Structure 1
Amino acid sequence: MSEYQPLSSIDFETNPDDLAKFFDIHDIREGISKSKFIALGSTSWLCSSLKTHDKEGISPDSKENLASRKKFFGTNEPEKPPINSIWAIIFDALKDFTIELLLAAATVSLIIGIVESEKEGWYEGISILVAVAIVVSVASTQDYLKELQFRKLNEEIKRLKIAITRNGILEEIFQDDIVVGDLVSLNPGDITPADGILVRSYGIIVDESAMTGESVSVKKGENDPFILSSSVIVEGTGDMIVCAVGKNSLAGRSHLFLLKQDKELTPLQMKLEKVAKHIGIAGAIAAVIIFIFISFFIFEGAIADDDWESDDTSDLLTAFILAVTILVVAIPEGLPLAVTLSLAFSMRKMKDEKIFVKHLSACETMGGCEELLIDKTGTITKNEMRVVKFKIGLKKIDLKTPIKDKNLAEIIAKSIARNTTADIRKIEEKLIKTGSRTECALLMFLSDWGFNFRTLRDLDTQAMQIPFSSESKKMTTFHVGFEKEGYLYVKGAPERVIEKCKYYFKEDGTISELSAEIIQEFNFLITEWSQKMIRTLALAYRPGTLEDLQLNERPSKEDIENAEKNMILIGIFGIEDPLREEAKSALNQLKNAGVTVRMITGDSKEIAAKIGKQCDILDIDYELHEKSQIMSGKDFTDRVGGVKEEFDEEEKKRYYKIGNEEEFNKVSASLRILARCSPYDKFVLTIGLRNSDKIVGVTGDGTNDSLALKSANIGIAMMTATPMAKESSDIILLDDNIQNIVTAVRWGRNIYQNIRRFLQFQLTVNIVALLLCLIGAISVASSPLSAVQMLWVNLLMDSLAALALATQDPDDRVLDSKPYGKNEYILSSWIIANIVVQSVYQMVIMMVILYLGPYIFGIDAGWDSDWPDEESTHYTICFNTFVMLQLFNQINCRKTRAEEYNVFSGIFQNRTFLSIFSVEFALQIIFVQLGGDFMNTEPLDLYQILICIMIGSSTLVVTLLFKISTIQFYQRKSD
């Protein structure tokens, strides 16, 4: 039985039961029922489509027809799982142990307070409950909005384009616009967007592991025409009629069981979790000590009075609430929130700059990128191929005027039209190119000669097609004429095509034998063009009877490959792919930012070296005989011993290692270009660099780049990339602009800086707050800050400060430093020193106000009042000064480098920061002046408020002086 049989040869219209019989002869795969296919396909309509697809694709599709099909069959957009409601998120937040403990204690306090005093006893309990409700509501609302935003961002990546045929025209549409009945073109590397039936197959081999879990690729054809959604086309080309879309497809049903978003922690988040854990432990210890000391004083007073009163019980409960509150404040919920906000903010900003981030971790990882393996075609170059040279024999041919020999001109036209799958058409004066850019260049050449490639393509006579692959470096098609004559067409790399040729055409249409001297001339020509950055492509064909070719009407792939001999070389095309204007500048920026840039390409060493010099990847005086900076993929892989796969029995994990790591380290130290490399060569280089503890980024646009993209720490695909390359990547450049790689690095590093900014701020707040409460409890038997005030600080300093500091735009110096390493501690030595200086300074200020405040301001001491049941001006000043110190230190934390003296630089361009700072400042004044019983505050006069603001702003001066002294210290040290 042959591999290919057009289903249109079966007369379904005469006998519709033949469709069911056709299904009966196949092994229906698990999960796919034939009744499902028949029902969704609408038997009579499907039969009509099958009979017309060879010539026109699907029957004419009016808007009304498409609309009715969408209504009846649905669209390819998967059904969305329900998003968590705000109430569900709030409920999850309330499950936190410390929050539950605080709520329970506040409830007990409320009950006791009401029993003691129905009029005023409920103030403290209600104020704590309200404060907790505000904290939980703000955090939950942020989580809810974050989930909505991520959902919206992540859905956009699914709007990939796919080539389909409608009204006999090949066009690209978004895959979620596909409907039942569309004819989808399948090519190597494509990911099938729906379930369907194969109606044309040329050696289609499919990887269905995403759906079936079976790792063995499956051959598709007459014996198994069913194509499952989300399958990868490993080999071959063909067309399939869509039979099930959206929730009716296998992938659509599976989609309902997927998580709404990626929950895996990034490396940065794991680092921060450890930091948060350590801070939480310190907070727990402080809370226990504070509770013990306050309890000691309560019990000491009760023993002295020889009486335990209800006030003692209330005071003990207040101490417990304070201890739990301190624990809540100490646990820095703002850390993961700051990470999330910074990542989300950066993702949105990057999207505005035409960079689509698929995974949150990609933002963070890009900032640490140390090695960038950059694909030449489509990344450094424009991937806008055009024919610039053409030679038949060794004669230069005019690109705009057809040759005089009409027969040879027609052979050239058919060789191109029949051995390509790309398409070019005009829509509203705009040229739309679909498919391979190299093939589009050839089709444009045919158009200039006045040929219509669509009329010459003759798909009805096509009996076999072997698509281009990185291994074979050629594409072959076989057509059978009406008189049983056969035509074999081959195009590809000249060295692969010429070796199959025995003859060649001359310009006048005569055929001569291809001698060794002529082959040498062609090789000189290819080398000359390569040195000028011109890619070469050879065309060859072989006509003859089926008997002469030793082929039947439906040959196998092996039969075709055996027939590829004694062919006639038609000519050599020179195709140019212009360098992107921004390439040199972008690559130099990356190099100056400490990123090692290496170019990987399938082109020859000559072309690679030429481009490498133009982009400053290679020195301008570099010569090819110097093998240290440029190597062929094969030489490199052979030298380093390739990649070996090993399995760790203990961890049950598979990992890869380089065969000869010592040799790899020696070679990679100077290697800058890998030429003539295969997908495996790229994979070897990627794995080797990753195993050297480097953060590796890989760019690419082809299916052959997918392995390296998936293996890298971060894969970057172009918008024009194949579906498989996009699926394997973490970031997609929506406008194919290489400058956006630099932008992605800037934003990635900025995320790291934003987290440092917030961590510097948060640690200072926590250290001062814990020490202030601890010293107060030990020395004056009470905390200067009440539980409600601590909760307000937690809300103010965690949520709002996280939002303010996590939304800083990258500054001009972010690319001046080297990438942060995998094992680098998140806080620099200067940041740690600044935290210590700020904490010491703020504690000195707070101790002065705590112990000398009553004398300085002429007021009663806070510990003399029945705190916190009675408002105290003294403790209100303590509370207000503490918050003002943190607010102004928030401005300090915008800058994380010692040399950044001006902390106000760029502040007026950051409206988010200014708005949040203004809101924080205003709310603090309002709560102090109007908080009363709820906030345990006494209104301050203008003089007292201004003193608090002045003291708070002094942190700006302290930081400036510290920076100046630090810079002078380093200068003296360097001298």
Structure 2
Amino acid sequence: MDKSQGLTFQEAKTRLNKHGFNEIERKKQLSLLKLLLDQFKSPLIYILFFAGLITLFLKEWTDSVVIFLAVGVNTILGFIQEFKAEKSLVALRKMIVIHTKVIRDGKEELIEAKNIVPGDLVVLSTGDKVPADGLIIKEVDLHISEAILTGESIPVEKRQLQNLKEERDEIKPQFKAFMGTVVVSGRGRMLVTATGMKAKMGQLAGKLKETIDEETPLKKQITKLSRFLAIIFALICLIIFFEGILRQRPWLEMFTLSVAVAVAAIPEGLVIALTVILTLGMQKILKRKGLVRKLLAAETLGSVDVICADKTGTLTEGKMKVVGADFINLHQGKKAAVLCNNLINPLEIAMMDWVSKENKNTGQLIKENPRIAEIPFSSEKKFIAVLTSLNNSKDRDRGEIFLSGAPEMVMEMVPFSSREKLKWMKKLDEYTKKGLRVVAFASRAGDLERLKLHFNRLKKDFKKYDGHVDGNWHSLKLEWLGLLLFEDPVRLEVKKSLAECQRAGIKVKIITGDYKNTALAVLRKLGLADGSLKEDQAMEGWQLEKISSEELLKKIDKVLLFSRTTPEQKIRIVEALQNKGHTVAMMGDGVNDVLALKKSDIGIVVNEASEVAKETADIVLLDSNFQTIVAAVEEGRGIFENIKKVVLFLLSDSFTEVILIGGSLLLGLPVPLFPAQILWVNLVEDGLPGLALAFEPKDDDLMKELPRKKGTPIIDKEIKVIIFIVGIMTDLFLFGIFIWLLKQEMAMEKVRTIVFAGLAINSLLYVFSCKTLRKNIWNENLFNNKFLIFSVFFGFLLLISGIYLPLANRLLKTVPLNISSWFIIIGLGVTNVLLIELVKWFFLRNKSKIKSNSLA
């Protein structure tokens, strides 16, 4: 195989059939049988099974049917919802595709990493994740982090293997690259030797197998809450059981009653509802061009109150265009733009396009000036330098060094006179104030061998670069060529999103490597700045370098723009914001941003980001647009709101049912509900509407509220008060009706049927109050959730069936009710809802006052 041409597509296809996909085996992600069996692992199911077996043994057929029906319904509902959620998560994961560059048929192609085969020629660049094991056959200052394999954080310098025929086992690691490692700097080419499970990473697959199940903090919180409530309610049920026994009630009746109360009280549906809500939220964000990679992000998004955004590609279109050139020697400037170019970023592509439009022979220029050596660009050095020779017999002993990069760096390396330097600094200031990006160029022609010595010495010096340029560059006597000017158009639609952030209490901070003036011009166009920023609103990289962490903490909230920053400084900014109690969303795109992305609460990358940055990120912006970040935050807030609604509804009903049964026993009253009736209310009247709340559309005013504070519990003061009031008020009404009807000497079966219907109707009406905690029910669209409407309608039909069908009468021990009874039942439900709305109104009024004070 010609190592410069790579494999042919036909040969690659043959090898793919032979070796299989380049993938690490993972745990089976979706097993229907396992999902079904998991439904039976619940303590709730164990209790029901135990109770069902006892009732069967005692030949209490009616109770047995109801209990096993409860088991069946609970299992089927849980299985269906978890299956849908798991299926959606798998589909979302399949969208996360890693690509890599290979040489096929002599051309550079971008393919899915799973299609790489042994013998492929892989192109490696800074920020790439090495897709397979292989041999380094070409490199330019290539350094790879092998921390994932060795735990060693210091990148390993790689060398080019000269003899490919050498025995593979005898080749030293410095000539090899391994799957899963990360290119930290430089670039190179790798000949693939092992893929998939045959790669070194594949051999460790047993330790590295992944599963789709993510235990997010919120899920852990809900699970912990459910277990805590299960213990509390189990103790209450034991008290109910022994209280009944002490009052000489039949032990079987008390046992089944206690089991029914336990089933009704334990909010088993919370964990399923949480999974459904998070998965639906991820799908909604995807529809708005944001790919959420981690469940954790879906639940954290709603609390974001600071967005640290890069300017390029999000506030701007990311489409670089050369709009001017200020060169002393235009011909030499164009030559530098072509030769000092690797075509790996928008700036370099724009440079080549600019030269190509006027000079069609860029290929010939590269051929006549072959590259001998290179100092690759890095975010620390902020320049690229190349050494070329002249490919003709006349000047074969001659060569040139070309340099391009950040103007302040290039100016440091050129031996300017003070006057000349001041002149170009003024020009630079003028260009950046217009919002232009500027790249500087310099060159030096001379004896090739002498230039080689200079270049190699400088290359070694920059491996130990500490941010300061030494005198060696001045001894080289580089000649200043001039400046190339670029424009990156502003996304005007972002202006609306920034205003939306302001209304939502979200601060947007711009962190850019550009000049302050360039970024400020963009901010003006977007309405984030009127004229120049105040002194405490902008901070440059050199200022960040000098300032202490304590001082930064004091100033961080006021700073709007951070310019000329390094990746390390981004981490400091994120840490300072987090130490001030903010939930931070951070944007990045390169390998150097990985630590800042990890440090932030939400890591965000554009679709064009490096593979390693994508893998670190929580969200990938498929359209690279700032609007998508705002949309994701909005959906994140909706996710948290829906979780609160489900928790409120299910816990309110649990509290009501426990107090109703326990209170009646303590007061020496007859039991107001039979076990079968309690199970019916719990599964039919509570279960379906509770799950339907997961599908609630988000409130229109969601982005007019301030973000919730970090660590805000789901069950906050408002939720606790409503749960308590709902439980107490409903029970007081039911106790009042129960006692009054008993005094009227109404038949006990009818009294229990009225209480049963009253509890059910209360749930079916109360769920509409839970639709929103941000407005009262009369200001809410009650019909915008078709799942909720269906579940309430279905629940009402089943309630009517439970009261009027003869078979249901026998199972539930109910009797048909007359119209006057229904007036009592509906009156109870409406009164209860009005009282709840009164409590909501009180909280809404207080929230409005707090918001007014915070904005004042």
- TM-score clears 0.5: yes
Alignment match, 2:634:
746
What per-residue deviation string (whole Å, max 9, x for no partner) do you get for residues 547-587 of structure 1? 23143999993289967822233331001111112222212
Residue equivalent to 2:447: 545
Cα 1:967–1:161 change in 2 (3 A) is closer
Q: Which residue of 2 aligns with 1:808?
A: 696
**Deviation string, structure 1 residues 490-547 (Cα, Å, up to 9, x no partner):** 2111222233335xxxxxxxxxxx6543333222211110110111112223333332
Inter-partner Cα distance in structure 2 for 1:374 and 1:967: 33
Give, as a single letter, the amino acid of the residue that structure 2 aligns with 1:889: Y
1:226 CA displacement: 1.5
The answer to whether the 8 A contact 2:302-2:707 is kept is yes
Residue of structure 1 in register with 2:168 after alignment: none
Q: Does 1:67 align with 2:67?
A: no
- Deviation for aligned residue 1:851: 2.6
**1:405-416 paired onto structure 2 within 5 Å:** 408=331, 411-416=332-337
Closer/same/farther in 2, CA of residues 555 and 806 from structure 1, 3 Å limit: same
1:760·1:831 contact (CA, 8 Å) conserved in 2?
yes
SS at match of 1:372: strand
TM-fit CA distance, 1:99:
2.7
CA distance in 2, matches of 1:186, 1:417: 21
The 2-side partners of 1:316 and 1:530 are apart by 85
Give the distance between the partners of 2:618 and 2:586, measured in 1 at CA: 10
Alignment of 1:333 onto 2:241: no
Q: Which among 146, 149, 164 is matched to residue 211 of structure 1? A: 149
Aligned to 2:466: none
Deviation digits for residues 212-250 of structure 1, max 9, x if unmatched? 333332111135322111111111111113333333333
Query: What amino acid does structure 2 have at the position aligned with 1:416?
Result: A
- Between 539-548 and 878-887, report the one with greater CA deviation: 539-548
| 2:790 partner letter | S
1:346 deviates by 0.4
Structure 2: which amino acid aligns with 1:758? V
| Structure 2 residue matching 1:908: 3-state secondary structure | coil
Q: Among 201, 226, 232, which residue is 2:176 paired with?
A: 226
SS in 1 for 2:535: coil
Equivalent residue for 1:633?
A: 541
1:460 Cα shift? Answer: 10
> In the superposition, relative to structure 1, how do residues 254 and 890 fare at CA in structure 2: closer, same or farther (>3 Å)?
farther
Task: Return the offset for 1:481.
Answer: 4.6
Provide the rounded CA distance (Å) in 1 between the counterparts of 2:205 and 2:578. Answer: 32
1:40-83 Cα offsets, whole Å, 9 max, x none, are xxxxxxxx132xx1xxx32543xx44432321222234434213
Q: In 2, distance between residues paired with 1:274 and 1:202?
A: 53
Is it true that 1:910 corresponds to 2:782 in the alignment? no
CA distance in 2, matches of 1:819, 1:559: 49
The separation in 1 between residues aligned to 2:335 and 2:20, in whole angstroms, is 40
1:146 alignment partner AA: A
Using the TM superposition, name which of 743-752 and 960-969 deviates more: 960-969
- Using the alignment, how far apart are the partners of 1:637 and 1:566 within structure 2? 30
Cα distance, 1:143–1:606 mapped onto 2, change above 3 Å? same
Alpha-carbon distance in 2 for matches of 1:786, 1:464? 87
- Residues of 1 paired with 2:368 and 2:148: CA distance? 32
- Do the aligned partners of 1:633 and 1:681 also contact (CA within 8 Å) in 2? yes
Deviations 1:108-132 (A, max 9, x none): 220121xxxxxxx433224312322
1:780 CA displacement: 5.5
Root-mean-square deviation (Å): 3.1
Q: Quick check: 1:124–1:934 contact (8 Å CA) kept in 2?
A: no
Match of 2:683 in 1: 795
Q: How does 1:315-330 map to 2 (within 5 A)?
A: 315-330=250-265
Does residue 924 (structure 1) correspond to residue 796 (structure 2)? The answer is: no
Structure 1 partner of 2:762: 885
Instruction: Select the structure that is richer in helix.
Output: 2
For residue 617 of structure 2, what is the aligned residue in structure 1?
Answer: 729
Distance change (3 Å), C-alpha of 1:208 and 1:148: same
Question: Contact 1:151–1:261 at 8 Å: present in 2 too?
Answer: no
The 8 Å contact of residues 550 and 563 in structure 1, kept in 2 or not, is answered as no
Whether 2:355 is the aligned partner of 1:446: answer yes
Aligned equivalents of 2:7, 2:841: Cα separation in 1: 77
C-alpha spacing 1:970/1:198, structure 2 compared with 1 (3 Å): closer
1:636–1:500 distance in 2 versus 1, CA, 3 Å = closer
Report the CA distance shift for 1:516/1:639 in structure 2 as closer, same or farther (over 3 A): closer
Distance of aligned partners of 1:761 and 1:384 in 2 relative to their CA distance in 1, 3 Å threshold: same
Secondary structure at 2:50 match in 1: helix
Residue 769 of structure 1 is matched in structure 2 by 657
- C-alpha spacing 1:256/1:463, structure 2 compared with 1 (3 Å): farther
Could you tell me which of 410, 424, 427 is aligned with 1:497? 410
Paired residue for 1:155?
94
Distance 1:971 1:584, change over 3 A: closer
Matches within 5 A, 1:39-78: 48-50=1-3, 53=4, 57-61=5-9, 64-78=10-24
Mapped to 2, the partners of 1:965 and 1:696 lie a distance apart of 32
How far 1:933 sits from its partner (Å)? 6.7
Give the aligned length: 825
Q: Tell me the distance in 2 between the aligned counterparts of 1:474 and 1:806.
A: 52
| Alignment match, 2:507 | 596
Alignment of 1:163-562 (within 5 A): 163-221=101-159, 222=161, 224-255=174-205, 257-258=207-208, 260-261=210-211, 263=213, 265-273=215-223, 275-298=225-248, 315-393=250-328, 408=331, 411-422=332-343, 435-451=344-360, 453-458=362-367, 461-482=370-391, 483-501=396-414, 515-551=417-453, 557-558=459-460
Ranges in structure 1 where 5+ consecutive residues have no aligned partner: 1-47, 114-120, 300-314, 396-402, 423-434, 503-513, 641-657, 862-871
For 1:710 and 1:481, the matched residues in 2 are separated by 46
2:589 is the counterpart of 1:701? yes
> 1:772 Cα deviation (Å)?
1.3
Aligned partners of 2:456 and 2:574: how far apart in 1?
Answer: 42
SS in 2 for 1:826: coil
Query: Residue 940 of structure 1 is aligned with which of 816, 825, 842?
Result: 816
Q: Which structure's CA Rg is the greater one? A: 1
Give the counterpart letter for 2:504 in structure 1. Answer: A
- Counterpart residue identity of residue 535, structure 1: R
User: Sequence identity of aligned pairs in percent?
Assistant: 28
The CA distance in 2 between the partners of 1:174 and 1:165, in whole Å, is 13
Residue 27 of structure 1 aligns with which residue? Answer: none
CA contact (8 A) 1:102 1:321 kept: no
Kept in 2, the 8 Å contact 1:414–1:457? The answer is no
Q: Deviations over 1:746-791 (max 9, x none)?
A: 1111112112212221222011111111123344565333333333
Once residues 962 and 73 of structure 1 are traced to their aligned partners in structure 2, the CA distance between those partners, rounded to angstroms, is 66
Quickly say closer, same or farther: Cα 1:971–1:497, change in 2 above 3 A. Answer: closer
Q: Which amino acid aligns with 1:359?
A: K
What stretches of structure 2 of length at least 5 have no aligned partner?
162-171, 464-471
1:875 aligns with 2:752: yes
Match of 2:647 among 759, 780, 790: 759
Secondary structure of 2:319's counterpart equals: coil
Q: Which amino acid aligns with 1:108?
A: I
Distance in structure 2 (CA, Å) of the matches to 1:421 and 1:730: 30
Counterpart Cα distance in 2 of 1:265 and 1:348:
19
Q: CA deviation at 1:913?
A: 2.4
Q: Specify the SS of the correspondent of 1:551.
A: helix
**In 2, distance between residues paired with 1:777 and 1:460?**
96
CA drift of 1:721 comes to: 1.4
Per-residue CA distance 1:900-931 (angstroms, 9 max, x = gap): 342641x4332232233333333333344445
**How far, CA to CA, are the matches of 2:594 and 2:92 in structure 1?**
23
8 Å contact kept, 1:715–1:730: yes
Alpha-carbon spacing, 1:58–1:629, altered in 2? closer, same or farther (3 Å): same
Cα offset, 1:383, TM superposition = 1.3
2: CA distance between counterparts of 1:782 and 1:258?
59
Matched position secondary structure for 2:453: coil
TM-score scaled by structure 2?
A: 0.89
